[in-house]
């Protein structure tokens, strides 16, 4: 749990204080089947706000798990915190990212992301919100699309 104190011992609150999002109080959920293939767990870390139009979450994918095709009207940063992430776009770009790597997915670009077949992967996402929308979910990534992306990465290594 986070601890918040004022160094000057004041107790007067202002609207300029830092916001603290206690990890124990932020929601978590299993990724819904219509939006994900395989086991995916989402842990929100902070919500979007009017003045701050983006949110953050840790997302853990078990081996071979992945999102459906989707886009983000406000774009999305992906920071890999564990394992190897794979992401692909409709135009055929496939990227593999190691722990510590970051990827920027521009606004309105159809893409998916997930774990390689060998191990689980966790990434931290910072998702932009535009006109109240963070994500537009689309069709599921087929096994053939996933396998082709994995094969392309392995062939390039």
Residue range 18-70, pLDDT digits in tens: 788 888 889 999 999 999 999 999 999 998 887 778 999 999 999 999 999 99
pLDDT at residue 52, as a whole number? 78
If DSSP codes are grouped into helix, strand and coil, which group holds residue 64?
A: coil
Half-sphere exposure of 148 (CA within 13 A, CB side): 10
Contacts of 92 (CB under 8 A, 6+ apart): none
pLDDT at residue 132, as a whole number? 87
- CATH number given to 28-131+139-156: 2.60.120.10
Q: How far apart are the first and last CA of the chain?
A: 42
**Single pTM value for the model:** 0.88
β-strands 70-71, 76-82 pairing: unpaired
- Higher confidence at residue 116 or residue 50? 116
Domain ranges of the chain: 28-131+139-156
Question: Does residue 10 register a pLDDT over 60?
Answer: no
């Amino acid at each position: 749990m986070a601890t918040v104190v004022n160094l000057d011992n004041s107790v007067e609150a202002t609207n300029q204080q830092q916001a603290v999002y206690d990890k124990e109080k932020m929601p978590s959920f299993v990724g819904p089947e219509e939006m994900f293939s395989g086991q995916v767990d989402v842990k929100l870390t902070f919500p979007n706000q009017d003045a701050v139009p983006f949110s953050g979450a840790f997302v853990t994918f078990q081996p071979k798990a992945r999102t459906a095709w989707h886009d983000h009207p406000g774009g999305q940063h992906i920071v890999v915190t564990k394992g190897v992430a794979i992401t692909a776009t409709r135009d055929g770009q496939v990227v593999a990212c190691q722990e510590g790597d970051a990827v920027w997915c521009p606004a309105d670009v159809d893409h998916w992301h997930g774990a390689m077949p060998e191990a689980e992967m966790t990434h931290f996402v910072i998702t932009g919100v535009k006109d109240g929308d963070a994500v537009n979910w689309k069709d599921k990534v087929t096994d053939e699309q996933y396998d082709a992306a994995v094969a392309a990465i392995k062939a390039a290594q």
